[in-house]
Amino acid sequence: MKMPFGKYKGVDMGALPEDYLQWIIANFEPGDIREEAKRVLRSPEIKEQQKCADLEEEANRILGEKPVDLLRRGYGRPKKRL
């Protein structure tokens, strides 16, 4: 089912952020959209996608804090052998 209105109009319900789906459940009267939001949140595939997205976001946050010169370590000239 595609989102029929709002910021995510036309986007598949499975691609919506978890917090937006929770907002739909909390603020809408029982009906098709609310039931679809519940179904998507219970879906194991959606939970796995959200977990991967959270891990990717955390990795980007951590890597973004590292100075650039630390990331380049190990790619310099090879050491002379004795």
Question: What are the residue ranges in the chain where pLDDT is below 70?
Answer: 47, 65-82
pTM > 0.75: yes or no: no
Say what the pLDDT of residue 79 is.
61
Contact 28, 22 (CB under 8 A): no
Among 32, 48, 51, 40, which residue's Cα sits nearest to residue 15? 40
pLDDT of residue 26: 92
Domain assignment of residue 60, yes or no: yes
Q: Is 5 part of any domain?
A: no
Q: What is the pLDDT of residue 68?
A: 46
Query: For residues 12 and 1, is the Cβ–Cβ distance under 8 A?
Result: yes
Q: How many domains does the chain have?
A: 1
**Residue numbers of the domain that contains 57:** 13-71
Task: Tell me whether residue 6 is in a domain.
Answer: no
pLDDT of residue 3: 87
In this prediction, residue 67 carries a pLDDT of 47
